[in-house]
Amino acid sequence: MTEPRPVIAGVGVTHPPSMRQDDLWRDFFAGHYAGVQRGLAQRIFANSGIATRHAVVNPVLEDVSRWSTKARMERYLVEALPLGKEAVAGALDSAGLDPADLGLFAVCSCTGYATPGLDILLARDLGMSARTQRLFIGHMGCYAALPGLGVVTDFVAGRGRPALLLCLELTSLHLQPPTRDPQQIVAHALFSDAAAAVAVRPAGVPGPGYAVREVAAVTDTATADHMTWDVTDTGFRMGLSPRVPDVLAEHVGPLVHGLLDGQGLAVSDVDGWAVHPGGPRILDVVRDCLGLSEERMSPSRDALTAHGNCSSPTVLLIVDVLRRAPTPPRHIVALAFGPGLTLYAALLSAV
């Protein structure tokens, strides 16, 4: 018999103010790229699949493209603390937990750094115990939520105490100066800001939720240069090869089938899919490689349309939508992709 697994008992999500993609193009990026790949940039924005995005810094009101990295990091802390506090409080409330109950508080973020970090400052502000263990996971990019979930789940299983994971990204702080690089234009057309937190409790505690049954990964180091996130004097700069979907097509099928085979399940048994929407083509590749219907892909496409690519919180946003559906899925597979080139998958089952 399978050993009972820790359970996601609560999720909290928060977004900064929203912006329409068309308005962003018309009021800022059309001028930003005037004379520098303007036609290409306009096509990329129009074909992004995004209607609205979120940002702590609206470039129409405040152009940070030439800010120093130091200035961006100072702003990161100012903006991240209230967003993180709201997401964590939401996850704790929905799980019926007190901050002092937590044995571990883990934070994933690749868009800002400070010491003391969000883990310490939020633990202080929210009233977590001085004995709460903390972990900061940085620079893993869009897939960080799933290894983060694996870490907090293993802690809960091993220690028998609740834990909480916060994923928070403020990509709007890393707007770059105008460039002819298509990869940078794609990044500026896709990325968005958000915070998402999940509270995980030990197995056997009464209450609904999703058991984290397994987390699996594969990294293709031969394609490590296909997705990069470099620290520069003017913020962090994204590298995003157009060959990324081809690499995903090679690995996503074996990864998911291996994950499900180990749990005695097939793709047809999974009625909830939370696929990180790295872009429309990424979602098409996953759909085709796994033989999924558009109905199964719609929560991920809807997330891209409404929120853009929020990096590490995104897959948790989709899990939250699925768990709150009128008929929640019995099994959810969460998929995320990032630098490495790395693919992560997690199997969640309703309890």
Tokens of 227: 């997705």
- What is the helix (H) or strand (E) element at residue 153, kind and residue range? helix 145-159
Cβ atoms of 228 and 29 within 8 Å: the answer is: no
Task: With CA atoms as reference, report the closest residue to 55 among 46, 47, 64.
Answer: 64
Q: ∠ CA 205-346-134 to the nearest 5 degrees? A: 65
Question: Which is the catalytic residue, given 142, 167, 289, 310?
Answer: 142
Cα-based distances in Å from 126 to 86, 98, 121, 167, 199:
10, 9, 9, 16, 14
Cβ-proximal residues to 211 (8 Å cutoff; 6+ apart), any chain: 4, 5, 6, 7, 8, 203, 348, 349, 350, 351
Per-residue tokens: 94 = 């929905």
DSSP 300-311: HHHHHHHH-B-S
3-state secondary structure of 8: strand
Q: What is the CA radius of gyration of the chain?
A: 19
SS3 133: strand
Pairing outcome for strands 133-138 and 104-109: parallel
Q: Where are the alpha helices (DSSP H) in 166-311?
A: 182-190, 244-261, 280-290, 294-307
142 is a catalytic site residue: yes
Catalytic residues: 142
